[in-house]
A and B are shown apart, each in its own frame.
Chain A
Amino acid sequence: DIQMTQSPSTLSASVGDRVTITCRASQSISSWLAWYQQKPGKAPKLLIYKASSLESGVPSRFSGSGSGTEFTLTISSLQPDDFATYYCQQYNSYHWTFGQGTKVEIK
């Protein structure tokens, strides 16, 4: 199966900071990558699909980039509502896999 390595596992940041999370695939997944945000007790919420396409209703401060094996999620100016855990997911193969998650904490 394709392994997804996400970094960092925890990130401490302040409101207004620019934040970048990285996801690396063990083999090429083209652009078949999604990013989710999850808050405690809630289902994951889709932010980005196909590596760089912003889901409808998601603020434009979120952006995704990359293709092949290297991907990034960027939050251009961190807002109080953005403190959460973020996951990448590959759906290039029938066996999906997720990164281990990045918890964004208040500094």
Chain B
Amino acid sequence: QVQLQESGPGLVKPAETLSLTCTVSGGSISSYSWTWIRQPPGKGLDWIGYIYYSGTTSYNPSLKSRVTISVDSSKNQFSLRLNSVTAADTAVYYCARGGSKYGSDAFDIWGQGTMVIVSS
């Protein structure tokens, strides 16, 4: 059974870079697409972007200039980097799997989420 687990700092200073990693267990990362989604406190879901195992990426146009998603197949992990963060980037960050039999943009497996606060 495939499981996802986010990891990374829970507190990031303004103007610095937010870095998170998602570890895939119970299956290979060398298939599907791998996605980051965030949810500000009390608000809705915000798609950040995804990466295919081949390395092809797609990003939210509103975040594209600040976002990089990468994959490390040797570690069965994929990562998110969001630079120049502000308080508006405070959110629960989820990693998720797409591209399964449910469709390219249907996310069928999710991590539990990790809260990231941007504050000095």
Q: Do A and B bind each other?
A: no
Residues of chain A having any CB pair with chain B under 8 Å: none
